Structure 1
């Protein structure tokens, strides 16, 4: 803790807070209010200073390009923060005059001068400052004995680049240390970023939670800071809060005492200093939540949530698996958990799924809370994998942090890979590790096959602005990152992979690294055990996957024995303008099975390689268990033999590879590498298939056919074919569950039961529709829900689709009154299934009112509506009409905008829709698209590809479905 800032903790801090709070609150509130009203106005000269003698309104600044340091988005390297002392006082009741919720704070940061400079730049966004002497927004104090601090000659806020700028009358001395004091006020807004408020209904009415989300660039909204991941420091946090509330932060609670401020009696909680860490991992929360706890190996584990949720036992599952997962990662990393506690908290309003704040992980309620009476096995799996993902970050990301956001993919890709390993440790019977193929590999293939994709790693200089940073939080960073790291672990072996990982974490603990540092440590591990069959260094192999976008399709001609590769593009006619340092060639590990026998891995590091020729009835299957990040095509003879095996002895092919064959075939067809009819033939054996992964792969791909044809004459014959294919599966689950009275034993079986009901009802199987409607009617009549949690999503959707306003209103009422987040989520999605346009339009309007649909759920609700063929055009019209409002209110940095744009436009397949999409891009160029910027271009590319695909395939697809529907 820094000396000289806090006088007596019980008195000095309160006096300062009182000065900032009680005296300046009215002025500050009016300033914040006027700032919010005028936030989009042009800025004037920084020399205007403050508008009042007490609290400075953000002066306005010009935004013309210049070489001034404050016009650049990256901090200069002249100052290095070491210690922060931060005291914050969030108000959980609104000001009676303005209606605003605010927080006040004081902060000091001790920093070292690394290069002489007469300028201090520190990040600040939407904060208003109380002035010190000479009307300046900060106070500078020297920390070295006998030295003198320069005087501040001018101070202003540079809003465009989000800085508090302090000009000095002389230079700070190299290697000298200084302390910067600030006193400030901010709005505790409901914008889900920085220090914000979450609201919920509890005993006695509306409850307010003050909470945080700093990643990637919103710590600066909570207090002035050097807000870059490499600027690590130690943080001393103090929170002032109301009686009846509990304060939490990254560190352990040191002391809570009663303090008096004016006529108010409050609590003050001081926390132990944090480890040296990045600003984006900070968290502080004030709430009236309850908790449950456990201690494992001297680590206190606590689960916090609304008191009613804790009392209902909804935190028990999360508590039960956190300890085992933590222990797994300690063993995996060979590193003891570096903190004395692990708090996890479920928040009613939270934009991301979860956030890995060091020692205080924040979650959406659906990602942490489990209730056996309401939560499905899918809800349970999501909790296990997300907890695992966030705990993996405690070491990889928090202990060792990537230097800059251009390497975000390694941080998030790694956690997205090992989350399956940690969840497997908690639930070994689930076989959850296999699901990475469906959830990540196949998911990201769809995006990475576009010409508008991007490499995993960007150049540091290309990622500068907050909006550019937010764009990186996409499927490429998470899912492709996970996929290529899984491939790397496989071809090195898990033993070598973890060996390199452990030395990497040991060398860079409490510091920062770049992705090539990991390659160096993995190479050291390889060298320690022998290079094996690697065709080059880890660095050389992996850079072909990291520095160029896309992935290859490996074509194996089993007749000639030639294996070749080329860049896989969903639209082969699209123009790839992005340069590649490797000319779109990859160093590819290939493993295969020959008629049931496992073969040795081969490497393909050029365009072609001679391999093995097949004879007679032999067949070849490559990319076993889909550990490689590539698609596989074969000569027609091998395809025919694989289809024959599927038809006669499908269990001969591993279940993951049955899913792969379906997914590869459909996407190869979209890329015009094989006929679409060949892809459709991979679904003919499904009448005999009861495993989840192949069915899920087929349904995911057939969703594209629904998107392209549910408004055309292909729809009817397609429905007839799929209905006949799914009825055996429907009957299988009906039989093994005693007419739906029991739950299948296996985790994957429970998933596939949902697929059976969902597709049977979707394709008009009368028995299925009668079943789901009867369940829903029984619920409406008896007010007791008879539907098992696993089946609720599909049952609700089908019953609401078949019903009218009465069913919709009942579901809406249940949604409003739901106290279990996972149940509310099921109902929110199902409400979008109605076929009544007026109800869908009303539902869209509800997304603009956060009292009806929480801001965190607004964009996904619009996508749910767009998934409905009747709602798609309504949703498109809606976001075009309201884009400026949506973008402003839900935050330009929201990670959900790419999902929103992709979700609403994925059915586009006509020239008219293409023109509308291009017009939408042009009309909103000034407003912007934030994290959805790339998604707009991807949607345009995808629409063009869809148009071509329909023109090429509609006739043959219609004929095939007609013929097969008659044959079955």
Structure 2
């Protein structure tokens, strides 16, 4: 298939853009509700789980003292740490899991000072001497001043050490502490994960340091620019193994415990530190490999081969990135470990990457194509970080996108190399760009890069792990400067290895390699407009007059944008187009308005933003839309490569673009159409429009359902083409959703067969999500209870995740309420899955009001009793309120906002503001389009 999908094309493009994308972006009020597949919804990739909602903590510091500021002063620079930790994997006499530790850090004085500030949070310290919590000595013959006093500044998470004298510039010192902390189950810092093996509970001590939790494990200078070398020793019980970033150098049996010492790490940031103590086992690369690769996990998972796929793809991916970056992998080993409890999808700790089981394990007998695709793309994302993020790291969190955006981009390249027959690169637009559009069309969006002083507190840092950070830069990398971005990466890594950067360092490298390419302005001028101001433009092309205009695209065009921009929300836009007859063109739009040569005939059409060469939407004059529609419906097989657009057009014109779907058999146009039509289902599934909508779409999907019934020999075989295997899911899912005859019976038949013989499932792996949901929806308590029991018994993460979703589909309110109660009981559903269970139920038209009531009654419990409450809260708000489309629901949401504001919680206000903005847009969209949609659908049935 080459470099691009050649789908049922042009205007496969128009379907994908005009037909599918445009269905949602109606009248500048609609949104691209780009729904990720059920699993991509539930898993962010790494770090702090792509938090989209934590509002900035605006509480001003109570004084101007250094310890009341959140940032470290620049007086001290760490060189290396010696850390010894002993996690207890059994309860102590107080019924707690704890760890004890000893830590020393060598640092150099860069500016004369009588003050040491070092991060420490949730740690209790032993008094080392003279009633102080730390001991300070000089290195290299230097004498250290005595400690005057020590205390802890809780709000800013500092241990404050005031000295009787001053530290000398250029001299080095050693700070020693002893401490203990709780090995809690809060999924952050140094925490515990639990699982059952052969009826026995097992405890794992593990870590998640990003972004600001290394300070929860030991005292440290916990900022990304404070890179240092770490010498680590772990004490652990016999029968367990200890892992960390470095290779194990020696393990000593001290009778009571084992003691494992690790080789020193590379110079790196604190958030990349990781260590694990467990009874896990591993599979590894052969001895002749020049990099030791090990896949770790629960013994049952490893012995049943669930880690085999990860082991097979890791080495080729590492070699691919070595070649891509022209830089040797800087470590001697690559450990990857799957944890039963992990809030993110994965985390790129240097040399010891941690994963959810779902993100690392693959069982070919149970897992689906989508599960396999998720595993390889997550692995490539994390391994891409070994260079981009770990070797070279952003100086401060305001430039987080330097790590995540570019790792996200090259992860598709690595996955495409590992699985060349999948054409994963061609899914980038579908999976990344639409997600960015959805969030970036809100007035509550944010620029890719902010000023350092705008991102200070842990809450403010957390909120940066969102769709904008991960996906927005994606499209700019992909196409705008694609020719030179690889060489730019190479030069950037070579110059700044083991150091920290700001975004202008990248622009400098990009400018150097672009010196021979004709651009309308400097790289700095072009790219700053895209990263220093939020949002994106909609480009309107009038083919009659030749005028081109751009304006800031907003989901709610009447919303007030109160965030100033130095560029007045004007972008340098690279416009590519194709005219009928394959006449290609390119133009840089540098101002609000420009012009080009108009169309010469009344039959010629123009299609812009080919292959998504720019991060913008496109609209045309009505006549051009009509010509594109004619082309789409008369010859949808004409060869035009894949593209994505969304438009501001009349609702009936958008709906007309779906009329050709009954002829379409390819995956990408159907997938895009279904994702985008979700907005219609969201808005109308409680109204009189829903019936006619079902009837119309039933007619469009019936031929696709029949097609797959034929090519699979009455559902007994797997479609031979890879993308057809995906599209079979769409055919059955949409057929059941719209009431195609035989669909519900098919899913119930498979499910009932499984109920009769639980040990052998007849359900094809790729179809399990669809079958579970539809069969449980059509069934009753017997089907639900069976699904719940299989969920509890599942030892394969991918299977458990599918059942977690399927259970939310029941139409019985009492079962949904029972499921809601289960969701906040960590003995029944793991804390990592609380958000997903609740949001899944909210997707159910019957469950949504139940969830809203449940959430309002329990949100304080959730945020107070789950350490990761701020993360959970944002995902819940977005998922629960996305159907809101009435004045009454808006009033309820605003009332909840008032109650939340009165509670003094600061982390979730942005999520509520986004939900209110979305609800207002939904209300307006329905008021302007409901009648037209209804009339149009009725006309189609005449």
TM-score (norm 2): 0.92
Q: Name 1:628's counterpart in structure 2.
A: 614
Alpha-carbon separation, structure 2, partners of 1:398 and 1:79:
22
Gaps of 5+ in 1: 1-61
Which stretch of the first structure deviates more once superposed, 813-822 or 745-754? 745-754
**Larger deviation: 678-687 or 192-201?**
678-687
Q: Which residue matches 1:564?
A: 549
Q: Which residue of 2 aligns with 1:536?
A: 521
CA contact (8 A) 1:470 1:893 kept: no
Deviation at 1:198, TM superposition (A): 0.2
Structure 2 CA distance for partners of 1:623 and 1:364, relative to 1, 3 Å: same
Alpha-carbon RMSD across the aligned residues, in angstroms, is 1.4
1:4-83 to 2 correspondences below 5 Å: 65-83=62-80
Question: In the superposition, relative to structure 1, how do residues 819 and 598 fare at CA in structure 2: closer, same or farther (>3 Å)?
Answer: farther
Structure 1 residue 154 displacement after superposition: 1.1
CA drift of 1:929 comes to 6.0
User: Is 1:720 equivalent to 2:695 in the alignment?
Assistant: yes
CA contact (8 A) 2:576 2:587 kept: yes
Residue 122 of structure 1: which of 98, 118, 137 is its match? Answer: 118
Matched-pair contact (CA < 8 Å) for 2:475–2:612: no
Relative to structure 1, the CA distance from residue 205 to residue 598 in structure 2 (aligned partners, 3 Å threshold; closer, same or farther) is: farther
**Which aligned pairs between 1:105-504 and structure 2 lie closer than 5 A?**
105-145=101-141, 147-260=142-255, 265-295=256-286, 297-490=289-482, 493=483, 496-504=484-492
Q: Is 2:724 aligned against 1:749?
A: yes
Per-residue deviation, residues 252-288 of structure 1 (Å, max 9, x unmatched): 010011014xxxx211000000000000000000011
Q: 1:933 to 1:704 in 2, by over 3 A?
A: same
Please point out which of 900, 912, 925 is paired with 2:888. 912
Q: Following TM superposition, by how much is the alpha carbon of 1:890 offset from its aligned partner in structure 2, in angstroms?
A: 2.8
Alignment check: 8 A CA contact 2:187 2:868 kept: no
**CA-to-aligned-CA distance 1:463-519 (integer Å, 9 cap, x gap):** 0000000000011101112222223333xx1xx211111111111100000011001
Q: 1:50 maps to which residue? A: none
Whole-Å separation in 1 of the counterparts to 2:837 and 2:335:
30
- The residue that corresponds to 1:19 in the other structure is none
1:89 to 70, 86, 89: 86
More off after superposition, 192-201 vs 676-685 = 676-685
C-alpha distance in 1, partners of 2:388/2:597? Answer: 41
Output the CA distance in 1 between the equivalents of 2:913 and 2:293.
44
CA distance in 1, matches of 2:860, 2:475: 36
Instruction: Measure, in 2, the Cα distance between the counterparts of 1:230 and 1:467.
Output: 19
Q: Tell me the equivalent position of 1:939.
A: 915
Unaligned runs of 5+ in 2: 1-58
The CA deviation at 1:934 is 2.1
Kept in 2: contact 1:837–1:870 (CA 8 A): yes
- State the TM-score, normalized to the length of structure 1: 0.90
2:854 is matched with which residue? 878
What is the CA–CA distance in structure 2 between the aligned matches of 1:364 and 1:931, rounded to whole Å?
25
- Tell me how far apart the structure 1 counterparts of residues 695 and 374 of structure 2 sit (CA, whole Å): 34
1:719-742 C-alpha deviation (Å, 9 max, x unpaired) = 000111101111111111111112
- Alpha-carbon distance, 1:928 to partner: 5.8
Q: 1:927 to 1:394 in 2, by over 3 A?
A: farther
Q: CA deviation at 1:931?
A: 5.7
Contact 1:451 1:574 in 2 (8 A): yes
Deviation, 1:678, is 1.0
**Other-structure match for 1:643:** 629
The structure, 1 or 2, with the larger RCO (C-alpha pairs under 8 Å, 6+ apart) is 2
**Hey, what's the Cα distance between the residues in 2 that align with 1:542 and 1:898?**
30
Matched residues in 2 for 1:727 and 1:931: separation? Answer: 46
Determine the structure 1 residue equivalent to 2:569.
584
Is the 2:79–2:105 contact (alpha carbons within 8 Å) kept by the matching residues of 1? Answer: yes
Contact 1:467 1:892 (8 Å CA) reproduced? no
The secondary structure found in structure 1 opposite 2:337 is strand
Deviation at residue 649 of structure 1 after TM alignment: 1.1
Cα 1:888–1:438 change in 2 (3 A) is same
Displacement of 1:403 in angstroms is: 0.2
Report deviation, 1:894.
Answer: 5.0
SS in 2 for 1:134: coil
1:507 partnered with 2:495:
yes
Deviation at 1:619, TM superposition (A): 1.2
- Whether the 8 Å CA contact 2:80–2:228 is kept in 1: the answer is yes
- Once residues 795 and 870 of structure 2 are traced to their aligned partners in structure 1, the CA distance between those partners, rounded to angstroms, is 26
The superposition leaves residues 115-141 of structure 1 with CA deviations (integer Å, 9 ceiling, x where unpaired) of: 111111100110000111111111001
Q: Contact between 1:487 and 1:629, CA under 8 Å: does it hold in 2?
A: no
**Tell me, what secondary structure is at the counterpart of 1:684?**
coil
User: Who is 1:4 aligned against?
Assistant: none
Q: Secondary structure at the match of 1:75?
A: coil
* Contact kept? 1:470, 1:931, Cα under 8 Å: no
C-alpha distance in structure 1 between counterparts of 2:129 and 2:583, whole Å: 77
CA distance in 2, matches of 1:521, 1:897: 40
Contact 2:149 2:161 in 1 (8 A): yes
